[in-house]
Amino acid sequence: MTLNDPRTIYPTVNPQKQKQDEPGLDQELAPQSDIGVSSYVGHDRLKGRKALVTGGDSGIGAAVAIAFAREGADVAIAYLPEEQVDADRVIKAIEEAGQQAFAFPGDFTDADYCRKLVEESVGALGGLDILVNNASRQVWSEDLEAISDEEFDKTVKVNLYGNFRVTKAALAHLKPGSSIIFTSSIQAYNPSPTLLDYAMTKAGLNNLSKGLATSLIERGIRVNSVAPGPIWTPLQPSHGQPQEKIEGFGTHAPIGRAGHPVELAGAYVYLASDESSYVAGETLGVTGGTPTP
């Protein structure tokens, strides 16, 4: 069997400075990142399962949605209405995998949408077995004083309130064997001075997933988190980083490069499937070699 060097297995991401409006589009990333369309191979590990992936239009969420479909799951994705072009590509990939795809655009700052998203997903899928809490916003600021109250509020509303509301609504439908996966970050442990509000929400989600795991395992529901390192997605050039950090993005990781979204897919598939039946309250770091506590 061929050995693949992890430093070079995927095309090197070496972006020039570039800016997109928030929330950013995968289609406008230069270079394009690998979300698994032509690389992820499934092995029936989620056959017959029903999954909801928030932020499933692009980046890590898109890679997870496509991988889940190739593992045999029907998948509903949530995203902002202005991301429809990215969502269309993911919906097509799910359908080409022979699975059902459902799309529910909306804004996580809207409490009613969070609850309706779950109800409509359950209705369309005919139940819910896997919830991937992946949607988040990340907008950089020079320092704490540069974060307006409105910006702080919006980041907390999307990242903490949004995840909380969707998870709470989903609990009414999750049966023993179900899995909830939060998307934390290396920022939960090593916060960047330019991402104080965002990093705080990622630490909060990591903590929530651990507390919730202890509570829900008694109901046969497993809760875990994935903590990505620097991954090349539209989150970064759409005000997620200052321009000087876009150039050479990810090269500070011990592996020497940024990750591609598809390199996260296996972690989510593992945590969603029965292969991780004894794993709850865990945070799986996918960081390119930066140690996590």
Kindly list the residues in this chain that would bind ligand NAD in the complex (CB under 6 A).
Answer: 23-24, 55, 57-61, 79-80, 83, 107-109, 134-138, 158, 183, 185, 228, 230-231, 233-236, 261
204: partner contacted, choices ligand NAD, Mg ion, none (Cβ within 5-8 A by kind): none
> Are 63 and 261 a contacting pair, CB within 8 Å?
yes
Stretch of 39-47, 64-72, 75-83, 117-125 lying at the interface with Mg ion (CB under 5 A): 75-83
**CA dist., res. 252 & res. 249, Å (int):** 8
CB nearer to ligand NAD: give 204 or 234. 234
DSSP result, 67-106: HHHHTT-EEEEEE-GGGHHHHHHHHHHHHHTT--EEEEE-
* Smallest distance from ligand NAD to CB 226, Å: 8
* Smallest distance from Mg ion to CB 73, Å: 20
> Are 198 and 136 a contacting pair, CB within 8 Å?
yes
- How many residues line the site for Mg ion (CB under 5 A)? 3
CB nearer to ligand NAD: give 78 or 213. 78
**Crossing angle for the helix pair 262-272 and 59-70, to the nearest 10 degrees:** 50
- Joined together, the tokens standing for residue 50 give 């029903």
* Smallest distance from ligand NAD to CB 257, Å: 12
* Smallest distance from Mg ion to CB 64, Å: 13
CB nearer to ligand NAD: give 50 or 113. 113
Does 58 sit near Mg ion (CB under 5 A)? Answer: yes
How far is the CA of 193 from the CAs of 147, 162, 177, 247, 266, in angstroms?
A: 12, 24, 39, 18, 30
136: partner contacted, choices Mg ion, ligand NAD, none (Cβ within 5-8 A by kind): ligand NAD
User: Residue 242: how many CB atoms within 10 A of its CB?
Assistant: 13
